[in-house]
Amino acid sequence: MKHLISALALAALSVTCAQAGNPLFPKLFTADPAAIVDKGRVYVYVGHDEARPEDKDYVMHEWRVYSSCDMVNWRDDGVPLTPFTFSWARDKAWAADVVKREVDGKIKYWFYAPVAHKTIPGMSIGVAVSDSPTGPFVDARGTALVTNDMTTQTKISWDDIDPGVFIDDDGQAYLYWGNTVLKYAKLKRNMTEFDGPIHVVEVPNFTEAPYLHKRAGTYYLSYAQHFPEEIAYMTGPSPTGPWTPRGVIMGKNDKTKTIHQAFIEFNGKSYVLYHNAELPGGGEWRRSVAVEEVRYNADGTIQPIAQTKK
């Protein structure tokens, strides 16, 4: 009986696995990938683009998570949370980021989520937490961590979006975010409060999607620039710079003006996840997540990355 149950479980698993290739998740329109590696699996979190062909805006009511042990076969791990996980939020599952960190002796997964606030105009950023990378996540604060009225450096209501969370080797965590203006702040060990002021990084042509990763002692701050967007990056000796601009690593998309990147190292290779709109029927608000291998030069710079369709 036990063997029969295991066989059934394996069969069910293989049904939920899709063969890889770009777009990575062929059954749904997906955007804004975030990724972590945990216990030999890659977890990719995406916003679900639910816009109908006639819609002319983002329709995003949930995040979804997929996982893989080989970057080839992907398991659909469902919906780990929605904007409605936050009682103070109204909608808009925009570009999130996730990190694993032990707090109070327990391993937890921390999900930074930009959402529309019910009572404060514009976009805010909430923090949700779970014991598992696949959720369910619950609101870790009960209120937004960032609201548009806290950080009004621009006149737009969506300048507080696109959180990118990074934990340095010394344990200090940082949150980067922003549209038009790139901001960052240190996070306390509890991951739910800022530790000090919000800073601005002056970046010419910055649009959105700041993302910090570290490799071989170099810090990489990548972001979407211009509109239509392309992925550019800077390098520095610390999570706060000083930053040296390094140019564009991935050019703009044909069918959508946005692009949004996340970098991971997995099984000895480096990857960038991003979105375009190459899934059949795709478009500006019907995007699809894809992946490419990243190659670093000996001096630490990143070789230009071409988008592949397979």
Q: Which residues form the interface with ligand FUB (CB under 6 A)?
A: 31-32, 47, 58, 94-95, 161-162, 208-209, 258, 260
The least distance separating ligand FUB from the CB of residue 182, rounded to whole angstroms, comes to: 13
**Structure tokens that stand for 165 in this block:** 């969370």
Greatest Cα pair distance, the chain, in angstroms, is 64
Q: Could you tell me if 183 and 151 are in contact, meaning their C-beta atoms sit under 8 angstroms apart?
A: yes
CB-facing half-sphere around the CA of 38: CA atoms within 13 A: 17
Residue with tokens 């329109």: 29
In angstroms, the CA 134 to CA 85 distance is 14
Which C-beta is closer to ligand FUB: that of 58 or that of 219? 58
Which C-beta is closer to ligand FUB: that of 84 or that of 227? 227
Which C-beta is closer to ligand FUB: that of 49 or that of 139? 49
Which C-beta is closer to ligand FUB: that of 41 or that of 61? 61
Nearest to 225 by CA among 199, 255, 245: 245
The least distance separating ligand FUB from the CB of residue 17, rounded to whole angstroms, comes to: 26
CA distances (Å), 196 to each of 167, 186, 275, in order?
A: 16, 6, 33
Which C-beta is closer to ligand FUB: that of 22 or that of 75? 22
**Structure tokens that stand for 113 in this block:** 């989520």
In angstroms, the CA 278 to CA 20 distance is 14
The least distance separating ligand FUB from the CB of residue 193, rounded to whole angstroms, comes to: 23
The least distance separating ligand FUB from the CB of residue 169, rounded to whole angstroms, comes to: 27
The least distance separating ligand FUB from the CB of residue 176, rounded to whole angstroms, comes to: 13
Q: Could you tell me if 182 and 160 are in contact, meaning their C-beta atoms sit under 8 angstroms apart?
A: no
The least distance separating ligand FUB from the CB of residue 161, rounded to whole angstroms, comes to: 5
Which C-beta is closer to ligand FUB: that of 101 or that of 161? 161
